[in-house]
Amino acid sequence: MGHKGISVTGLVCSVAFFLLPLHSAYGDVSYSVPEEMKRGSVIGNIAKDIGLVASRLSARKARVDPDGNRKRYCDINLSSGDLIVAERIDREGLCGKKASCVLNQELVLENPLEVQRISLHVQDINDNSPQFKDEVIKIEMRESADKGARFLLDQAHDADLGQNAVQRYTLQKNDNFLLTVDSHTVELVLEKELDREQSNEIKVLLTAVDGGTPQRSGTVVIHVTVLDANDNAPVFSQAVYKASLPENSPLDTVVVTASAADADEGVNGEVTYDFAHVSEEDDKLFSIDRKTGEIRVIGTIDFEEMSYFELRIKAKDGLGKVIIDITDINDNAPELYLKSLTHSIPENASPGTEVGIINVQDRDSENNRQVRCSIQQNVPFKLVPSIKNYYSLVTTGELDRELVSDYNITITATDEGSPPLSSSKSVQLSVADVNDNPPVFEEQSYKAHVTENNNPGSSVCSVTARDPDWRQNGTVIYSLLPGEVNGVPVSSFLSVNGDTGVIYAVRSFDYEQLRSFKVHVVARDNGSPPLSSNVTVSVFITDITCCLNCGSKHFVGLIN
């Protein structure tokens, strides 16, 4: 079970040239976690640790995001607020021999947007045994070697750390040798002189044990061949060889050449070089030429994986050390991660509304990992830097769905390496409708001419109003505004089709009684609340009969 480590700290945005206050909050929570915990094990209660009621987690869409492109190592139980192990955490695979192994994950919350950095400090457990490079350590020894003569041995390697790494060596009981061990060397000491006539080969078992619980061990056979020829151990020209190597150096690059001199002459004086104990990983990156002592690159040197190597070399029984510092090359483009995005923003969102959180990472070092982010110019959005490598995407102006309903925003991240590398990401945002436009009639006012004695139900004219809003917010419904003409309700004169705006006569008109009248037609949208406007429709009744003034009151003639 993990236990909570460091306290929760709030971090404040410190970039001077953006003055907009940010609503989102950022923080840091740390936990100490032993490696290799079972999936589902509880690391801690993150809801409690960030001061949030667990029942709010679902509403706030709480989720754990892996930092960068690494795996998601933990997850959150939305009902309890527990942070649980989601993926195997192998300290050796993640951090090698590094003393501190920290996995960064992020807890993203919405409404309002919030990012909490989760730091998992991975603790070593004793899951690796000490291992010798070879199964057999071969040593050749002069018969004449004196009591007390010392012979350096390869040390065992244990991927674990501290107490879990190699603590002790023991040598199988034998007639000739003892073991001396100090913090740097393991040596075989001749305790009783050799006698080639008695035996020309001696085999003893060397065991390395670590200090973990349970304890683990590894063994190697020391195979001593007793020679009668004189032999001297070679001595390296330098105790430590130092080299600096740019990452991505091509295969076969010579890193450094070790050289050792042997006091012997002829065949016995020929020096052969080899690595003493190197890890499996280092063995895949560097080779040593047995004859020349040249150390060459045989794999991909990645500063981001490993920036420092310490190799033990040997020439027969002489031991030396090579230190290689890897220098960074700007070989990683920044990577952009969208931590949160509101895909649909209402058009009445006030300027400064946060719509997304962007995280940028660059695996390189120093200047090569300094990254600037920008978006294109002609959009009402900008990026506001927040803690370290976080940016908020906020609106800068009023949005109008009726003018621009969708935005394709391209975010570009560029590092400060030379040459700089950049990458970009596009995000799609759409503007959601708000009922902010009333229907508008196509004409300022309408005039209709109706010939008297018309059929009731015949159409008189039609009105049209337009509303650019979306769906029901832009759906127009027509109606007559209540009113009277000569004391009679307008509805007994005209009617309007609510959907089409076509106006119909309800009765037959008589020019001699009514020559003109006005009604008001309202266009109302279906929004909530609805918006409306009205227009005046003037109706003129035309006389279809003409009384020719010829004495006869009843002479009726058609004009037309």
Ligand X SMILES: *[C@@H]1O[C@H](CO)[C@@H](O)[C@H](O)[C@H]1NC(C)=O
Site of interaction with ligand X (CB under 6 A): 40, 77, 79-80, 84, 408, 410, 426, 428, 433-435, 470-473, 481, 522, 527, 533-534
Name the residue nearer to ligand X (CB basis): 41 or 200.
41
- Rounded CA-CA distance 214/34 in Å is 15
- Of the two residues 173 and 471, which places its CB atom closer to ligand X in the complex? 471
d(CA 272, CA 292): 8
CB closer to ligand X out of 30 and 435: 435
Q: In angstroms, what is the minimal distance from the CB of 54 to ligand X? A: 9
Whose Cβ is closer to ligand X: residue 50's or residue 326's? 50
Q: Which DSSP letter does residue 101 get?
A: -
Q: Is 499 exposed, middle or buried (0-12, 13-18, 19+ CB in 10 A)?
A: exposed
Comparing CB distances to ligand X, the nearer of 225 and 430 is 430
Please report how close the Cβ of residue 348 comes to ligand X at its closest, in angstroms: 8
Q: Which residue has the tokens 């085999």?
A: 203
What string of DSSP letters covers 164-222? GSEEEEEE---SSEEEEE-SS-EEEEE-S---TTT-SEEEEEEEEEESSSS--EEEEEE
Q: How far is the CB of 353 from ligand X (least distance, A)?
A: 16
Residue 468 β-bridge partners: none
Nearer to ligand X, 204 or 427 (CB): 427
Strand partners, 25: 114
Minimum distance, C-beta of residue 394 to ligand X, in the bound complex (Å): 20
71: nearest Cα among 59, 53, 83, 85: 85
C-alpha–C-alpha distance, residues 74 and 64, integer Å? 7
Residue with tokens 């991909």: 300
Q: Would you say 321 or 425 has its CB closer to ligand X?
A: 425
Across 252-279, b (16+ Cβ under 10 Å) vs e yields eeebbbbbbebebeeeeeebebbbbbbb
Q: Minimum CB separation from ligand X for residue 367, in Å?
A: 28
Nearest distance in Å: CB 473, ligand X? 4
End-to-end CA distance of the chain: 102
Shortest distance, position 389 Cβ to ligand X, whole Å: 23
Rounded Cα distance between 34 and 123, Å, is 4
If the CB atoms of residues 428 and 497 are measured against ligand X, the closer one turns out to be 428
- In the block, residue with structure tokens 């033990």: 312
Closest distance between ligand X and the C-beta of residue 66, in Å? 19
Dihedrals φ, ψ of 492, to 5°? -90, 0
Beta strands in 21-160 (DSSP E): 25-34, 42-45, 63-66, 74-76, 82-85, 102-109, 114-123, 136-142, 150-152
Nearer to ligand X, 484 or 510 (CB): 484
By beta-carbon proximity to ligand X, the closer residue of 377 and 426 is 426
Helix (H, G, I), strand (E, B) or coil at 244: strand
Comparison of 162 and 482: residue with beta carbon closer to ligand X: 482
Q: Considering the complex, state which of residue 190 and residue 521 has its C-beta at the smaller distance from ligand X.
A: 521
Q: How far is the CB of 352 from ligand X (least distance, A)?
A: 20
**What's the angle, vertex CA 92, arms to CA 86 and CA 278, rounded to 5?**
160
Smaller CB separation from ligand X, 170 or 464: 464
The nearest distance, CB 330 to ligand X, in angstroms, is 24
CA separation for the pair 74, 62 (Å, rounded): 13
CB of 438 to ligand X, least distance (A): 9
Residues 6+ apart with CB under 8 A from 13: 22, 384, 385, 386, 387
Smallest gap from residue 392 Cβ to ligand X (A): 20
Closest CA to 137 of 271, 317, 280: 317
| In the complex, minimum distance from the CB of residue 34 to ligand X, in angstroms, rounded to a whole number | 19
Q: Sort 104 into a burial class: Cβ within 10 Å, 0-12 / 13-18 / 19+.
A: middle
Nearest to 33, CA basis, from 83, 98, 76: 83
